[in-house]
């Protein structure tokens, strides 16, 4: 399997449309403690995936690189991408399917660092398709013909679910995907408005506490070792500020490594940008915070995106990902 370290992804070009809609809203600004730091704004989403960047600020990794971060919360990449391409934000966070869709549309943005990866365990991942015990859905193929809630249509959740059903021999084209925000999913499932939901943490834990049961993780299957999300910048920002991008990447490398090695610290930083209850935080399944991007998994995402009609033709992968160093 070919994987790319963070230092090798500085020139990766990507297109992102995000995990959901919504407008950015100001979050806490990193305390710089000095006047010579470079101020940069980063668009993030209030989910477990972005804990490493908050830890990096807390641990001083960005300040050590001469960067003063403002972390701005948005509901999803639909708000973050235009903020980055317009120059309002220096960097942003979003998922890999959105990158490929955006790249196919020619969006001028570049991948700079990984964000979160699957655990690889279909029974214990930070994303899971959840259903009620009496739904009749026990295996992946049982999702055929069912209503499944996803946070964004034509994106990473519905495409990976339909591919898993296809590989299991089910009628994947008969699945009825229903768009809804992650926080609305537990109530929609409990109310019978959908038969299953494609949840991510903390909503996997929340719906489990309400009696829902997992079917499988669509991040762990059908794609092996999926890199789920990344941080990105615009082509113009990368060209005009190469040293700042390098500093951001080094700080993210340290942040991801620290988060991967200190899961208790990850749980400890979550209250600083989420409203999760302590008991939910304690039970969460965390993503892997790997310092490399799995190119093979992105190749699979691109293939599935083409097969599902998310893109009309495959974007140039060499333009999206550089050759391994």
Distance (Å, whole) CA 103 – CA 109: 8
Question: pLDDT tens digits, residue range 251-271?
Answer: 999 999 999 999 999 999 999
CB 10 within 8 A of CB 245: yes
Give the least confident one: 77-81, 117-121, 153-157.
Answer: 77-81
Report all structural domains of the chain as residue ranges with CATH numbers, in order of start. 3-118+225-320 (3.40.190.10), 127-216 (3.40.190.10)
CB 294 within 8 A of CB 229: no
CA separation (Å) from 292 to 6, 8, 42, 57, 113? 5, 9, 20, 20, 8
Q: Read off the pLDDT band of 217 (50, 70, 90).
A: very high
- Average pLDDT estimate for 282-300: 94
Distance (Å, whole) CA 247 – CA 103: 25
If 0-12 CB within 10 Å is exposed, 13-18 middle and 19+ buried, where does residue 35 land? exposed
pLDDT value of residue 13: 30
Bridge partners, residue 110, by sequence: 13, 233
User: SS3 for 287?
Assistant: coil
Of the ranges 23-32, 74-83, 136-145, 272-281, the best mean pLDDT one: 136-145
- Average pLDDT estimate for 8-26: 37
Distance (Å, whole) CA 26 – CA 302: 33
pLDDT value of residue 75: 72
CB 49 within 8 A of CB 118: no
CB 287 within 8 A of CB 116: yes
At CA 104, angle to CA 100 and CA 109, rounded to 5?
70
pLDDT value of residue 5: 43
Q: Residue 101 corresponds to which tokens in the numbers above?
A: 């869709």
Question: pLDDT tens digits, residue range 173-186?
Answer: 999 999 998 889 99
Rg (CA), the chain: 19
% of the chain beyond a pLDDT of 90: 71
What is the pTM for the complete model shown? 0.85
Q: Cα 224 vs. chain centroid, distance in angstroms?
A: 16
């Amino acid at each position: 399997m070919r994987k790319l370290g963070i230092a090798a992804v500085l020139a990766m070009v990507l297109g992102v449309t995000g995990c959901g809609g919504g407008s950015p809203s100001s979050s806490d600004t990193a305390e710089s403690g000095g006047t010579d730091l470079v101020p940069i704004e980063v668009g993030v989403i209030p989910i477990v995936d972005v804990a490493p960047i908050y830890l990096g600020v807390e641990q001083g990794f960005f300040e050590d690189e001469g960067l003063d971060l403002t972390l701005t919360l948005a509901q999803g990449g639909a708000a973050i991408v235009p903020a980055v391409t317009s120059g309002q934000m220096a960097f942003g966070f979003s998922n890999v399917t959105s990158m490929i869709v955006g790249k196919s549309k020619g969006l001028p943005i570049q991948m700079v660092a990984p964000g979160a990866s699957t655990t690889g365990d279909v029974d214990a991942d930070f994303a899971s398709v959840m259903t009620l015990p009496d739904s009749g859905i026990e295996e992946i193929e049982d999702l055929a013909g069912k209503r499944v809630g996803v946070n964004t249509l034509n994106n990473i959740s519905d495409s990976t679910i339909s591919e898993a059903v296809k590989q299991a021999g089910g009628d994947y084209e008969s699945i009825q995907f229903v768009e809804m925000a992650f926080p609305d999913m537990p109530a929609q499932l409990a109310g019978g408005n959908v038969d299953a939901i494609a949840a991510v943490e903390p909503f996997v834990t929340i719906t489990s506490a309400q009696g829902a049961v997992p079917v499988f993780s669509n991040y762990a299957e059908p794609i092996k070792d999926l890199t789920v999300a990344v941080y990105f910048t615009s082509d113009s920002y990368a060209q005009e500020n190469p040293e700042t991008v390098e500093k951001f990447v080094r700080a993210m490398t340290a942040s991801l490594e620290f988060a991967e090695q200190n899961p208790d610290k990850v749980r400890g930083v979550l209250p600083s940008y989420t409203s999760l209850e302590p008991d939910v935080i304690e039970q969460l399944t965390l993503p892997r915070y790997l310092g490399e991007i799995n190119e093979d998994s992105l190749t699979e995402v691109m293939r599935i995106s083409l097969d599902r009609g998310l893109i009309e033709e495959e974007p140039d992968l060499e333009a999206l990902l550089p050759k391994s160093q």
